Amino acid sequence: MTSQQLTVLFMPESAYGPTNQCIGLGNELLKRGHRVVFAAEASWKGKLIGFGFEEDLVNLAPPSDASDNEDQDAGQFWKDFIRDTSPEFRKPTIDQLESFIKPTWQALIDGAMYCEPQLREIIARVKPDVIVEDNVLTFPALLTSGAPFVRIVSCNPLEMKGPGVAPTFSGLPCDDQSQWQEFNNRYESTHREMWERFNAWVVAQGAPALPDLEFIHTSEHANMYVYPQEIDYTDQRALDSTWHRMDSSVRDTDGEFILPESMKNRPEGSALIYLSLGSLGSADVDLMRRLVSILGKTQHRFIVSKGPQHSEYELAENMYGAEFLPQIKIVPQVDLVITHGGNNTVTEALHFGKPMIVLPLFWDQYDNAQRIDETGFGVRLATYDFTDEEIVSAIDRLLNDQKLQDLLGETKARIQGNSGIKVGADVIENVARKYRENS
């Protein structure tokens, strides 16, 4: 236990990726003797106390527009939002700017505006020594409280812009800039008016103006991002001394997972593969059914994270799955990961030295998929247009690439030797202690 207990207030985005990432950091801070409070979205009620955290939650919409949070799954708002807009995922990323990215930003903005008074009340009650936000949108109350603010980027680090990196959300290659300007122009034309309205509101709440066309501030105290050095963009964009990289953020709070006998006793030459499109992506039942149909004909065995629509489809005989699975306990036991490209899964796969097939669906997943492909740690496939042969051959190629397996082993050793959780907790502690000392 440290000599002085600090109070840390986390506000993660209401999705499993950012919240789980904050849970890992919060758990490390608890071990160090600190008080950890989560100002998470209200559907997380009762789900964070079990880790030893305090909950002081917020609603992102009026009660009349929100279902009973007691009965609501954690992050249900975004599950519903993604389900309703999933047809847009079949469009090129540049066309999604108008039909998906912009409405997503607007939904986030609406939530921020609604919960601003609640956040001010929470901060007054909690009296934090440091506020940690893992989100893509700014909340003025977090910046105007007087306590230091730490920003975490747990999405793909293309959020940190630079002239040498591709546009965020584009999925465009790093070494070919031919389409970058067109994408940037479309982004500005579709987002400028919305950004101006939001920026005016942010300033009216007493917070600094936002950087041009950015929806979140960079902290003057400390900023962190979760991405392994091996796939980072360190040569393409410079970051100042406030930025700290966590190569991974692997929590130790998941329950144990005992491999079923049907997965242990595999035919000679067959591999064990983990299939997860995340809590949001797996809601696309047609896509999950197609993957089950194709992969069910192979010699391999599959552990499948079935997600919120688990009752809507059946698995093949060579598969085992459930609605929720302790991913951190499963990935070390498999040979390959098929993923949607969420940042948590990507960084966790590399943490455990596993190759990936990436089927991106939305937001930063296209950028992660492209980065994994162009750095050689896996294969990006067209999520709705890949052929049966493409995915089957990609599996065999990745499993039999000894040079890649050696590289993954080296990557695993380096990442695990440099604990991202401890790096992040150190940054948060240092910021809070300086604030205490100067108060």
> What's the pLDDT at 1?
42
Cβ–Cβ < 8 Å for 142, 149? yes
- Which stretches of 182-315 are assigned E, i.e. beta strand? 222-226, 243-246, 272-276, 301-305
Say which residues have a Cβ less than 8 Å from residue 279's Cβ, sequence separation at least 6: 15, 16, 75, 79, 307, 308
Alpha helices in 304-387 (DSSP H): 327-330, 343-351, 365-374
Q: How many CB atoms lie within 10 A of CB 10?
A: 28
Within 270-351, residue ranges assigned H as helices are 278-281, 285-295, 327-330, 343-351
CA 429 to chain centre: 23
Report residue 290 as tokens. 């197609």
The structure tokens 């809507």 sit at 312
CATH of domain 7-247+419-438: 3.40.50.2000
| 283 Cβ neighbours under 8 A, 6+ residues apart | 79, 82, 83, 86, 307, 308, 309
Location of each CATH 3.40.50.2000 domain in the chain? 7-247+419-438, 261-416
H/E element, 17: helix 16-31
pLDDT (tens, 9 = 90+) of the chain, 439 residues, equals: 446 899 999 999 887 788 888 999 999 999 999 999 999 988 889 989 999 999 999 998 887 554 444 555 554 555 566 666 667 888 899 999 999 999 999 999 999 999 999 999 999 999 999 999 999 999 999 999 999 999 999 888 888 988 899 999 999 999 999 999 999 999 999 999 999 999 999 999 999 999 999 999 999 999 999 999 999 998 888 899 999 999 998 877 677 888 988 898 888 889 999 999 987 777 788 899 999 999 999 999 999 998 777 777 899 999 999 888 889 899 999 999 999 999 989 999 999 999 999 999 988 999 999 999 999 999 999 999 999 999 999 999 999 999 999 999 999 999 999 999 999 999 999 999 998 888 7
Name the pTM for this structure: 0.90
- For 439, counting Cβ atoms within 10 Å of its Cβ (0-12 exposed, 13-18 middle, 19+ buried), the class is exposed
Q: Give the class (CATH, top level) of 261-416.
A: alpha beta
For residue 255, the Cα-to-chain-centroid distance in whole angstroms is 20
How distant, in Å, are the alpha carbons of 2, 12, 22, 54 from that of 429? Answer: 10, 18, 14, 18
CA distance 347 to 368: 10
Interatomic CA distance for residues 194 and 211, integer angstroms: 14
Angle (CA) 283 284 288, round 5°: 100
> Sheet holding 35-38: strands in order across?
54-55, 35-38, 7-12, 130-134, 149-153, 222-226, 243-246
